Amino acid sequence: MEFSVGHHDGGTQARVGSLRTVHGQVETPSFMPVGTLGPVKGIDPIDLEQLGFRLVLNNAYHLYLRPGHKVVAELGGLHRFTGWPGAILTDSGGFQIFSLAKLCTITDDGVSFQSHLDGSTHFITPETAIEIQEALGADIIMAFDQCVALPASHDQMREGVRRTKLWAQRCQESRRRTDQALFGIVQGGLDPDLRVTAARDLIGLGFDGYAIGGLSVGEAKAEMYGMLDVTVPELPEAKPRYLMGVGMPEDLIEGVARGIDLFDCVVPSRHGRTGSLFTSFGRVVIKQAKYLHDEQPVDPRCGCPVCARYSRAYLHHLFNVKEMLGARLNTIHNLWYFADLMRQVRSAVAQGMLKEFREEFYTSRDRAAGDRADAVSAADDHRRQPGD
């Protein structure tokens, strides 16, 4: 993998760049849709390509349990298995184990846990996390980290940072494949000093890219943004920076403004399935009765294939009768919104106009919200999810 930074915004910490992988080039800043078990739920790879995505995330934990990383390896790896020709990033499974699995026991050696599916017992170490991800065969793999649940004591957070460093080193030492990029993950909760320590620890080990983990887990947005303000300046300019499990549209803009290059989140697909549609004027909750007769597209200003073909009334009907196609169409609309937002963000950064873009984003949404008594709050709670 090669990463090159192009323009800097100037007014913010934002930059545009380009990730070259064996499976194609990814313009950054970029948002990765989440295909927990292979596909983004209900979505074909060909849809993702047409929407403009070039990099998706798959969850190592879920694929380790089903169908098993060895099965995927036998079948030629994730790209061939899932039919996705673009680039893939796998997370290491740490966050999922701590979020989903039962009876976790963490030692310096690794984590023992019971599967959330059948209660079977597993033991994952930094070495096995790498082995699993090498078998899955993504373009970018992640170091095995300990994501401490918030709120946590200072001691717990410090212990998480210490263990994450230890594990990061063991991940590096156990690598066999040279054709995958390996990213380290900066932990440290909401403690600025710990974040800086964690970042410096990892940089000392030398990774192909750096992720910021342990955020979007229930803290206030201001706290999350504050951690970015502290952490990102520590990270090397020449390496990609990835904010894990984030986020809402405003989080992407705020993250980019603070120098983040990559994001992933289940929001477009999960909100799509539950009928919450992103638009230039805020959120459309498609189940609302007022859409029964509404022949407008979801967002008249949207260029997605769903808005080109279907009315709010039809999407309302599909949601109302629980038709599978409704989940699919809503997800496609939301994915397009996220892909298009990132295209606009990249363009704004390239022109040195991200501040203006951010201002216009909030203004236009707030103005619309003022016009619409039913508008969903722009600041609704969202937490990182361990898969979709």
User: Could you give the CA distance from residue 164 to residue 355 in angstroms, rounded to a whole number?
Assistant: 35
Task: Find the catalytic residue in 9, 201, 251, 264.
Answer: 264
Q: Closest Cα to residue 8, out of 257, 320, 339, 268?
A: 257
Using the minimum distance from each CB to a second copy, give the nearer residue, 257 or 327.
327
Closer residue to a second copy (CB): 44 or 159: 44
Q: Which C-beta is closer to a second copy: that of 40 or that of 228?
A: 40
- Quickly tell me which residue has 């410096």 as its tokens: 200
Tell me which of 47, 91, 251, 388 is the catalytic residue.
Answer: 91
CA distance 384 to 387: 9
Residue 152, Cα to own-chain centre: how many angstroms? 23
Quote the least distance from Cβ 248 to a second copy, whole Å.
24
Cβ 312 to a second copy, closest distance in Å?
10
Q: Minimal distance in Å, beta carbon 99 to a second copy?
A: 18
Cα separation, 160 vs 220, whole angstroms: 21
The candidate with the shortest Cα–Cα distance to 209, out of 143, 125, 131, is 143
Residues at the contact surface with a second copy, assessed by CB under 8 A: 37-39, 41-45, 66-67, 71, 74-76, 81-83, 292-293, 295, 309-311, 313-314, 316-318, 320-321, 323-325, 327-329
At 304, phi and psi to the nearest 5?
Answer: -80, 160
C-beta of 42 vs 247, nearer to a second copy: 42
The answer to whether 91 is a known catalytic residue is yes
φ and ψ at 35, to 5 degrees?
A: -110, 85
Distance in angstroms (rounded) separating the CA atoms of residues 35 and 363: 33
Instruction: Give least dist CB 43 to a second copy, A.
Output: 7
Kindly report the number of other CB atoms within 10 A of residue 77's CB atom: 17
Taking the least distance from each CB to a second copy, the nearer of 40 and 202 is: 40
Of the pair 87, 211, the CB lying nearest a second copy is at 87
Q: CB 89 → a second copy: shortest distance, Å?
A: 20
Are the C-beta atoms of 194 and 231 separated by less than 8 Å? no
Pairwise CA distance, residues 81 & 102, whole Å: 29
Q: How far is the CB of 103 from a second copy (least distance, A)?
A: 23
Beta strand 24-28 with 15-21 is antiparallel
Q: Is the dihedral of CA 241, 247, 249, 251 positive or negative?
A: negative
Is 388 among the catalytic positions?
Answer: no
Residues with catalytic function: 91, 264
